[in-house]
Amino acid sequence: MSAAHPEPLIEVEHLTMRFGGLVAVDDVSFSAGPRQITAIIGPNGAGKTTVFNCITGFYKPTVGRLTLRADQEYLLERMLGHEVGQKARVARTFQNIRLFPGMTVLENLLVAQHNKLMRASGMSIFGLLGLQRYRTAEAAAIEKARGWLERIQLLPDADRPAGELPYGAQRRLEIARAMCTDPQLLCLDEPAAGLNPRESAELNELLVSIRDRDGIGVLLIEHDMSVVMRISNHIVVLDYGRKIAEGAPDMVRNDPAVIRAYLGTAEDGPDA
Amino acid sequence: MGDRLPALLKDSALTALMAAALGLFIVGFQTRDIGQGLFFDYQFVDLGIAVVTIFFGRLGLHLAAMGLKWPSFALGTVLGAVGASPLKMPSTFLHWFVVIAGVLIILRTIWPWANAALAKARHSERGRAMGQRGAKWFGAILLIAAVLLPFTPFADQKNMDLAVLILTYVMLGWGLNIVVGLAGLLDLGYVAFYAVGAYSYALLSTQFGLNFWTVLPLAGMFAATFGLLLGFPVLRLRGDYLAIVTMGFGEIIRLVLLNWVDLSNGPAGIGGIPGPTLFGAVFAETAPPGQQTFAQMMNIPFSSNQRLIYLYYIILLLALVTNFFTQRIRRLPVGRAWEALREDETACKALGINPTNTKLTAFAVGAMFAGFAGSFFAAKQRFISPESFTFIESAIILSIVVLGGMGSQIGVVLAAVLLIGLPEWFRDLGAYRMIVFGLAMVLIMVFRPRGLIAHREPSVRLHPVRAGP
């Protein structure tokens, strides 16, 4: 668990994002290792989500370079919005849950496997003809979805519309949906927001298993310190768009700049 | 309720008085032009019947609202019976007016009870399974009825004409359902692709002598190409903006057809379009040289109904192909991606789905079916002009999709029958039929705001639905 991993999974260099006169992210550099959970923390408005939006292709950074080193090297800042998900396979979840509420839980997980299934269905032609090749691929996709539903304890709800699920289940489903895209990097935007302590603890387990069992690097924005401090390997602290600290949880916890900016008050203490 | 009765009567009388005051000049007097000038016709009997009906109608609604099931039910039945009785009333419309008032009161009476029962059924495993079986059976029965229709006693010229018309709209509705219902792209210019299909067949058949079955796939391809051409620049727009731009495109196509006289013969239209053939046989009294008529081929006497029945089966086949295709593609990745795009475009992008390509396929596929329907329309009418492709057509097709319940296949059929069939069947209501039509639309919007059939069947299930014990 060191920042100086020989070959980081994603490297953010001199990332700057300006909206008109507002500088949301100002010359931020950090890297996240493979098979590690890297948390980005900071007070509200620190630019955490903007960093995420740049990494996942929703914003084009004003300045900076974003390199993903996985099966090959991708320069994320040069890719179109959906290509970051399609080619570089960077998956993400959203601060305000964005499921497909009218579709069933299972369908949500199948949509996530769209690109793989699309190839198998031969641009829909094999699929329309009902060829074996497509049917095998679809069965495999359903099996994968079933595996994830078991892991997030939603198997009995597979055929319910996703919008009907309770809040905590929707959060878990969104993570499972992102995982169904076979990501090389998983970006989670406040996955613990609105969860009760028990659900938070379950989330911790899920994230640790994604790191250790699936071997996926996770990038995490989170306010809930019980999640951040317990499972992160590495923490990056932002304030007013700048990086003010970086390091292992214990180091960050005791950094005076961080305490001043973010952990200063009693309620926000590291043991909260 | 005894103490509340005077208040109820008073309120009903007030309502009736108001109706009388409003109706006095609208219904009570009718001006008539008999050469020397305008004269008044007095229609006080009409007015009187209407006012009495309104009095009892209001009373019935009050009783129903108070939960007095039997009195309001009885009142509704009596009104309905009076309306349906052979009693002499000045116009057919009044008969309908009274009947509808009675039916509405009965509906209002059973509404809370029916609603509760439906809600209960919808939330029980058994109710759901029954609903699905019911839908399946209903669809199958409709299909069998549609196939057998030409052999029933109803198959006279008028009804067959109407059936062909309804099926054309069913097909258009199913086609537009792909764009609006599945992909969630509000397209107000769907008629443009219909026009492209119609003019493709009209021009290729009259200029180059190609027959219907050759042109049909070409027309679909042309329409799909137009869909792609239009879709490319406009699909980055969302919601209302997309609707306005597609509406503009629909008008542009119509104006081009109107003004590009060299190509389309302008407002004069294109006539003499040959009808579809069956293995080279034509449906006419006499065949052109070198061809034979259907009657000669089958060795049966000629009847003008043969052509109509043939047209009916063609459009039934085309509509069923559209339906089958939609059902199938909904279960494929691209169909699920369409629905996902309708639900949340941002999330789709995050999952690596290319939104532009996905929308374009939906647009092109929808346009293709409009193209098929268009070339059928040209072959049926034998004459087309830009008049047939006005905005109101797009609006009707969209209403069919929305009223049917977005994305519901059987809902489109019901809505098409309602929207196209009712105004035709109620032609004897004269000018009032549009009021009835409007009333039907308002009622659907009030009671079924998400369309006649709002249920969405999942494209795939992990756990099969258990049938009831």
DSSP string, A38-95: EEEE-STTSSHHHHHHHHTTSS--SEEEEEEESSSEEEGGGS-HHHHHHTS-EEE--S
Closest-CA distance of chain A to residue B27, Å: 48
Taking contacts as CB-CB distances below 8 angstroms, the residues of chain A near B456 are 102, 161
Compute the distance between CA of residue A250 and CA of residue A235 in angstroms, rounded to an integer: 10
Q: B274-328: per-residue pLDDT in tens?
A: 888 787 777 777 777 777 777 777 777 777 778 888 899 999 999 999 999 998 8
Q: Is there a contact between A114 and B336 if contact means CB atoms under 8 Å apart?
A: yes
Helices (H) and strands (E) in chain A, counts: 11, 10
- Using the beta-carbon criterion (under 8 Å), do B347 and A98 form an inter-chain contact? yes
**pTM of the predicted model, to two decimals?**
0.81
Chain B residues within an 8 Å CB radius of A83: 352
Topology of domain B154-447, CATH:
ABC transporter involved in vitamin B12 uptake, BtuC (1.10.3470)
Where in the sequence is the domain holding A213, given as residue range(s)? 1-89+183-272
Min Cα separation B76/chain A (Å): 39
The domain tally of chain A equals 2
Are B350 and A56 within 8 A, CB to CB? Answer: yes
User: d(Cα B39, Cα B62) in Å, to the nearest integer?
Assistant: 40
Q: Which of chain A's residues have a Cβ under 8 Å away from the Cβ of B325?
A: 128
pLDDT at site B176:
94
Helices (H) and strands (E) in chain B, counts: 19, 2
Which of the listed residues A146, A176, A206 is the one where a domain comes to its end? A176
Q: Which residues of chain B have pLDDT under 50?
A: 467-469
Residue type, B217: P
Size of interface A-B (CB pairs under 8 A): 129
If asked whether residues A58 and A143 sit together in one domain, one would say no
Contact (CB<8Å) B461/A81 = no
Report chain A residues whose CB lies below 8 A from the CB of B355.
Answer: 82
Cβ contacts (< 8 Å) between B224 and chain A: which residues?
Answer: none
Q: How far is A200 from chain B (nearest CA, A)?
A: 23
Domain boundaries, chain B: 2-122, 154-447
ipTM for the predicted complex = 0.88
Q: Looking at the structure, tell me whether residues A189 and A85 fall in a common domain.
A: yes
Which of A80, A107, A180 is best to mutate for the B interface (most B CBs within 10 A)?
A107
Which residue of B lies nearest to A161 if distances are taken between CA atoms?
B458
Amino acid residing at A131: L
Q: Are residues A3 and A137 in the same domain?
A: no
Are both A77 and A211 inside the same structural domain? yes
Residues A110, B458: C-beta atoms closer than 8 Å: no
- Assess whether A124 and A244 both reside in one domain: no
Centre a 10 Å sphere on the Cβ of residue B224 and count the other Cβ atoms it contains: 23
Task: Look at B354 and A107 and tell me if their CB atoms are within 8 Å.
Answer: no
Which stretches of B211-354 are DSSP H helices?
212-234, 239-259, 261-264, 294-298, 304-330, 333-343, 345-350
Mutate to test the interface with B, among A92, A98, A148, A150 (most CBs of B within 10 A): A98
Q: Does residue A145 sit within a domain?
A: yes
Which chain A positions have a beta carbon within 8 Å of B354's beta carbon? 82, 86
| Predicted confidence (pLDDT) per residue in A38-81, tens digit | 999 988 888 889 999 999 989 999 999 998 888 888 888 888 88
Position A71 in a domain:
yes
* A85 and A152 fall within a common domain: no
How far apart are the CA of B165 and the nearest CA of chain A, in angstroms? 29
Chain A partners within 8 Å of B336 (Cβ) = 103, 107, 110-111, 114
Whether A38 and A121 share a structural domain: no
Q: In chain B, what residues touch A124 (CB-CB under 8 Å)?
A: 329, 332-334, 361
β-pairing, A63-69 vs A10-19, is antiparallel
Q: How far apart are CA A214 and CA A208, in angstroms?
A: 9
Check whether residue A139 and residue A18 sit in a common domain.
no
Rounded Cα gap, residues B463 and A105, in angstroms = 12
**Is residue A94 a part of any domain in this protein?**
no
Which chain B residues have a beta carbon less than 8 Å from that of A140? none
Question: Where residue A10 sits, what CATH number does that domain have?
Answer: 3.40.50.300
Q: Compare all CA atoms of chain B with the CA of A142 and give the residue at the minimum distance.
A: B462
Nearest neighbour of B332 by CB, restricted to A89, A100, A121:
A121
Give the helix/strand (H/E) hosting A239.
strand A234-239
Cβ separation B352–A85 shorter than 8 A:
yes
CB contact under 8 A, A98 and B325: no
Contact between chains at B351 and A118 (C-beta distance less than 8 A): no
Report if residue A225 sits inside a domain: yes
Q: Using CA atoms, how far apart are residues B416 and B402, in angstroms rounded to an integer?
A: 11
Which residues of chain B are at the A interface, by a Cβ-Cβ cutoff of 8 Å? 325, 328-329, 332-334, 336-337, 339-340, 342-344, 346-355, 361, 456, 458-463
Weakly modelled stretches of chain A, pLDDT under 50: 1-5, 266, 268-269, 271-272
Query: Given an 8 Å threshold on Cβ–Cβ distance, is A128 in contact with B461?
Result: no
Domain membership flag for residue A159 = yes
Give residues 5 to 64 of A whose Cβ lies within 8 Å of B: 56-58
Joined together, the tokens standing for residue B345 give: 């475009």
A75 and A146 share a domain? no
Mutation choice for B interface testing from A114, A125, A135, A188 by most B CBs within 10 A: A114
The reply to whether residue A110 touches residue B336, judged by beta carbons under 8 angstroms, is yes
Contacts of A128 in chain B (CB under 8 A): 325, 328-329, 332
Cα A158 to Cα A135: distance, rounded to the nearest angstrom: 20
User: CA B302: distance to chain centroid?
Assistant: 33
The per-residue pLDDT for B104 is: 86
Residue found under tokens 């008008």: B251
Confirm whether A260 is domain-assigned.
Answer: yes
| B181 within 8 A of B407, measured Cβ to Cβ | yes
pLDDT score, position A268: 47
In this predicted structure, what is the pLDDT of residue B428? 67
Q: Which residue among A176, A196, A212 closes a domain?
A: A176
